[in-house]
Structure formats: C-alpha cells, structure tokens
A and B are shown apart, each in its own frame.
Chain A
Amino acid sequence: MNQSFYLAIKYLQYYKIRTLVLVGAIGLILYLPLGLQRLIVESEDQMMARADNTPLIIGAKGNSTDLVINTLYFEQTKIDGLQFKNIEAIDEIGFGFSIPIISVFKARGFPIIGTNLDYFHFRDLKIGKGINLRYVGECVIGKKVAERLNLSPGDSLVSSPENFLDLAGVYPLQMKVVGILESTDTPDDHAIFTDLKTNWIIMGLGHGHQDLKNVNDPSLVLERDSAKVIANSKLFIYNKVDGKEMESFHFHGDINNYPITSILFIPENHKASTLLRGRFETGEFKEQIVVPSLIVENLLQKIFQVKQIFNTAFILVGIATLFILGLIIILTLRLRKDELYTMFSIGSSKNKTFEIIGFELFITALMSVVVMLVLYSFTGLFVDYFIHQFII
C-alpha cells in the first residue's frame, strides 16, 4: 500500500469521532441539494404520471385543484359532490364511460374509496393476495395499508365515524378484507377500496334488518297485514354486511340521488374527449370537467418555484461550508505543525507531507460521497411522504 495513504488512513482511524462528524456533515451538505432535487423530480414524475393516466375528471363546480387532488391522490379535501344520476346523464351521450368515486371516509387513517370494478380494470390493479370485491361490505386494500395495519384477507376493518364532511348518521361499518392489491407505487397503495354501495351504507343510506314478514318475535311488530308490516325501534340495524345478511340488506329512496364525490371519465378517443369538454363549456352541464394533467402541471409549477429559493440557499450554504472546511483544514494543520515538522526532520519532503494531507482529504471526501450516495439511495422511500406533506 502507498505509505502516504497508509498514514492518512491511520490518522483518520485514530480520530474516529472527528472523522465521522466531518464525513457526516460534508455528506449531508452534499446530499441536501441532490436529495431535494430527487424528491422534487420523483414527486413531479409520480404526480404527473398519475395525472397523465387519467383522461378527465368531472366534479361539482368549485376549486378544480381540490377536485383533482381528491380524486387522483385521495386527499379528502372539502369539495361539493355530485349525484349518482350524473353518471347516466353523461354516459348517455356515448363518448365513453364514467367511473364514480366516493372519497369521504377513512378507516384507521387510510382513505376509503368507493367505486366499482371498472376502477380496477382502468388502473390495471392486480390482486396480490385474496380476491377482488364481490359483495357489499367487502373491501380490497392497497399494499401499504396491508403492511402498516398488518391485515390479510379474512380480517376485518372498521370505518371511522368521523368524516370531513361532518355527515350526521354515519354508521361505522365493519368491512371484510377480501383482497390485497399488488404494489403500484401510486396512491392506490395507500387506499381501501369498496363498492360505492358500501360507502352509502356507511352514510346510513342503506342498511339491513330482519325480514319483517318472517319475524317471530311479536314484541318487534306493531302492526301487520298482507301489505305492510310496522316494526318498533327495538329492531336492530346491522353495522356489518356479510354473506347471509345480504339478503335482507337494502337502500332507501332513489339510488340516483345518492351522493358521489367525483367521476373519472374515460373517453373513447381524443375526439370524444374534446367534444365532451365542449359540451361542458357550453353550459350543457352544471358540473365542471377538468384535464388532470393540466391542473397538476399548474400546481407543480407553483410549488416548485420554491425550488429555486432552495437551490440558492443551498449554494450559499455550500460556499459557507467550503470556507468553514478550509478554516478547519488550516487550523488542523497548525495543530499538527509539530507532527509534520517531526516528519520533515526525520526526512520527509514537503511533497510527502502534502501527499499525506491530500490523502486524508481525499478519503474524507470519498467517505462523504458514500454517505451522500447512501442517503440519496434512501430518498426514494420518502417521495410519498414528501408529496403528502408538502404538495397536496
């Protein structure tokens, strides 16, 4: 081994803590701008990919950014909703088909997304474990939900009574987990999917009760004839839907008036998309239609203007750090004057001294770069967190 390199290693090894602190500090300073850049770029890519993969979103008139964030990224922002009948009115035109979305409730911190099987086909979501939705009351969960809550097919999951719309009469529903999706690195990993009707049950728009015509407990029945049966309040409203109970489950009122949050519209082709948007612009529909990629692009542009400020700050910090490092090196050399003079006295040349110091700096720099690379490699794990904390 090169003797200067050997001496440099020995120096750094002996002053371990000093070396580690220096390596850590330099590594961190090198990492910060690169790490932030990666977070921003990957966040941008992820968000844009999601938006690009969604042709059109239809929602109630209002803040289009909130509409897109709610529908694409399942951030339950406060937006006015639509009614189920809106779907038929739009699909009747024949330009494509709608996928309804309800995003109001949560279960253990994760959003419950009410939709239908079309959503899974559209997003190409595959079942990793278990099966897809079959009956009302079942749910399919994203990979991350399963990992964080340690759930498997067959387990139960109860919806939270709170909801950001402050709906009264919300019935916590015990849902049966029937499947876990394969990971997609999208917000779908963090969501709980149910059928629309399951969401309506949580809202209290549907429920089950014992079949009154066959009720044998006379204390439950006030009046009965062949046309009607009136029961008293002793009758129990289920808060879970499961297999057998399904037969006596039902909804009240006209399902067409039931609420949904928004609609993903999948046009047949680009021309159909343009024509449909044209119809909305002429006022044929009271709702709004948005192209998600345009909204998200606009959102990202505004947010990432902040990136410029960060970059300037990092440059200044970097320059300051260089100065400080320079000072540290000078002070260290002063402290080591005797040691270096000893080597010179014994027979070391000035070049040799520079070589030893040079190797020390090189090894420190190399280790700092390694620290930077390790931190950089882990950055990808925090993209989701970054998006949720700082962007949406």
Chain B
Amino acid sequence: MKNYLLFATLIILVSCGLDKGSKVKADKVKPVVVTVNYPLYYFAGRIGGELIQLEYPIPADVDPAYWIPDDDDLEIYQSADIILANGANYAKWMNNVSLPSSRVVNTTSSVKEKYIALEDVATHSHGAEGEHEHTGYAFTTWLDFEIAAVQAQAVKDELVKKFPDNKEELEANYELLKKDILNLHKLMQDVALLLEYQPVIGSHPVYQYLAKAYSLNIQSVHFEPDEMPSDDQWKEFDGIMEHHPARIMFWEDEPMPGVKEILNKKEIKTVVFNPCSNKIYDLDFLEAMKKNINNLSKLE
C-alpha cells in the first residue's frame, strides 16, 4: 500500500514537472537543462537523473516543432546551462531568438549526413528573386532508433563535460538507455519486415526517418486525426493512391470514426504510430515506442 502511494505520488510529481504551469525560473543550485522536445527530455532525465534540474516549458497539447515560446519560456532557455536541441532545424523558433550558442547542443550534429531533405516543401516566389523554396529537413530524427541512440550519446557527452567527476555514473546510465533504445531498433527492424516495401500512407509527413531506417515505403498527406479531410484533401489522397496503392495508413493518433469508416471502405487499415514529440498521456518514451511497434505487429 505504501509503495503504491509512493509510486502514485511520483507519477503526479513527474507529471507536474511537465506541466506548462511550472514555468518557475531555474533553481541555480543544480545546472539547468532544458530541451526542445520530449524525447530529449526523456534521454536527459534517464542519463542526468538527480545531477541536473530538468526544465520543459512546452505545454502537453502542442507539437514542440511548431511551438513558439513566450517571454517567460524564452527566459528559461536563455538562462539554462544546457539547451538540448534536436538539429535538422527542428525547433524553428530558435531561428528567431537570441540564445547563448555555447550552451546549445545539437544532438544530431555528428549525423548530419543522415538528415533527410524535404522534397515536399512549400515553394513560393516573390520580388526579383524568382521562385524558390524553403530548404528544410525532416526533423523526427529519433524515429530512426540508431539516430536516437546517437542523440542520447550527445546528451551524455555534454553532461560528462559538465560533471567530469560523475562520468562513471553518467556512462552507466547512458549504457542502460542505449540498450533500451537499441532494443527498440531491433524490435522495429523485426516488425518492419512485415511491411516490407508495402506502400503505406502517412497521415502527416513525420515518418521520413522511420521509413528510411526500416525500409518502409511511406508517402504522406496532411490529415488531422480529429478532423474530416476536405474534398480536395481526399482528392489528393486518391491521387497518391493511384500510384501508391496503400493498404495501411499510419496515424499520429486514433483518427475520428468517420475517417476510419471511409478508410475502411477503401480497404485501408489504420495504425497509430505516435512520433512522441511530446509526452503521451502517462507513457514515457520507451513505453510509447513499444506501443507503436506493438500496433504495427498487429497488422500481420
């Protein structure tokens, strides 16, 4: 009974830690580490543990890639000792603010060659420049679990610099995390064999790294799980289906019944594969990914 209460208390406290309401300025006794998305928050927590004060000002109901900090949030980042960035231009807001660059760690800087350039970009032109596009990269890098392990290593390396005396502990924590991540990698490799080269439709263009790492044939539309796509969007969907006859559609979250019905009529199965950019309910990163992989395994 005691253990249960303690566990419940811990859960509540951890949840509170992710609550946007706790935008209190960092306690400067421990070095403050702040991240731009949930996966990095998870990695930092697993590796740094009690050595660091982890901050996460991003509210639970937004996509961190499109989140824009307000003045208070920005101050948390500006005053942090370590800012863990994803790389691949993930947090676009970082382009528009001033930060102490020496404290920003791009966790994918060592694997830049693996960045996936976006083909499906919003091209536009104005003025004398002529037509151009915003060159960008896909940014859900952690869905390639080998890259996720590299990101975890980058977090560990930065923390070891900060706490050279605790190197052993940090290394040990990292090894455990790495093991867990690479286990995900193995599981994903196995389940991906079931989908080998089968055309898959993604509800959003967030599965690029997953597709590349595990040889999945995914093309994406821009459907929201809680919205009925417009006629034009269905038209676009059908257009893709003509040359990409998918029978499976990945969703970031369970689609609304009406959409599911239409997809069923088109004989397309829906599978929830949540990229976990932000925290999912009461599942941590590992649990969320395992659940995703489990969902895929049910497609058999």
Contacts and interface: CB of A to CB of B under 8 A. Distances in A.
Question: Are A and B genuine complex partners?
Answer: yes
Contacts of A254: 135
B109 A88 contact: yes
Query: A interface, by DSSP: helix, strand, loop or mixed?
Result: mixed
A253 B134 CA distance: 7
A59 B120 CA distance: 38
A252 B127 CA distance: 14
A116 B101 contact: yes
B126 A227 contact: no
B71 A212 contact: no
B222 A237 contact: no
Interface in B101-137: 101-103, 109, 120-129, 131-135
B95 A233 contact: no
Contacts of A230: 123-125, 131
Tell me what chain B mostly uses at the interface: helix, strand, loop, or mixed: mixed
A200 to B, nearest CB: 10
Contact of A134 (B71, B121, B135): B71
Contacts of B78: 117, 132, 134
B96 A246 contact: yes
| Most-contacted residue by chain A among B121, B125, B131 (CB, 10 A) | B125
A279 interface: no
A321 to B, nearest CB: 57
B3 interface: no
A97 B102 CA distance: 6
Contacts of B121: 227-228
B123 A133 contact: no
A135 B132 CA distance: 26
Contacts, number: 94
B75 to A, nearest CB: 8
Interface string A186-220: 00000000010100000000000100110000000
B258 interface: no
A232 interface: yes
A132 B122 CA distance: 34
A116 B98 contact: yes
A133 B102 contact: no
B125 A231 contact: yes
B97 interface: yes
A250 interface: yes
B122 A213 contact: yes
B100 A134 contact: no
B74 interface: yes
A247 interface: yes
B233 to A, nearest CB: 8
A331 B292 CA distance: 109
Nearest to B66: A247
A226 interface: yes
Interface string B164-197: 0000000000000000000000000000000000
Given A226-B222, A247-B68, A252-B132, A197 B95 contact: yes
B102 A250 contact: no
A302 interface: no
Contacts of B102: 97-99, 118, 266
A235 interface: yes
Contacts of B98: 116-117, 132-136, 138, 195
Given A233-B128, A235-B127, A227 B96 contact: no
B127 A227 contact: no
B238 interface: no
Nearest to B109: A88
B124 A231 contact: yes
Nearest to B106: A88
A250 B134 contact: yes
Contacts of A255: 95
A229 B123 CA distance: 6
B19 interface: no
Interface string A44-81: 00000000000000000000000000000000000000
B99 interface: yes
B243 to A, nearest CB: 15
Nearest to B74: A134
Nearest to A117: B100
Q: Which of B71, B97, B99, B134 is packed against the most chain A CB atoms within 10 Å?
A: B97
A232 B96 contact: no
A227 to B, nearest CB: 6
A121 interface: yes
Nearest to B126: A235
A251 interface: yes
Contacts of A252: 129, 132, 134
A226 B124 contact: no
Given A121-B100, A134-B74, A228 B123 contact: yes
Interface string A245-278: 0110111111100000000001000000000000
A113 B100 CA distance: 15
Interface string B66-104: 001001001000100000000000000001111111110
Contacts of A249: 96
10 contacts: A97-B101, A117-B99, A117-B100, A132-B78, A134-B74, A135-B96, A212-B124, A235-B127, A252-B129, A266-B102
Q: Which 3 interchain pairs have the tightest Cβ spacing?
A: A228-B123, A133-B98, A97-B102
Interface of B: 68, 71, 74, 78, 95-103, 109, 120-129, 131-135, 222, 232-233, 236
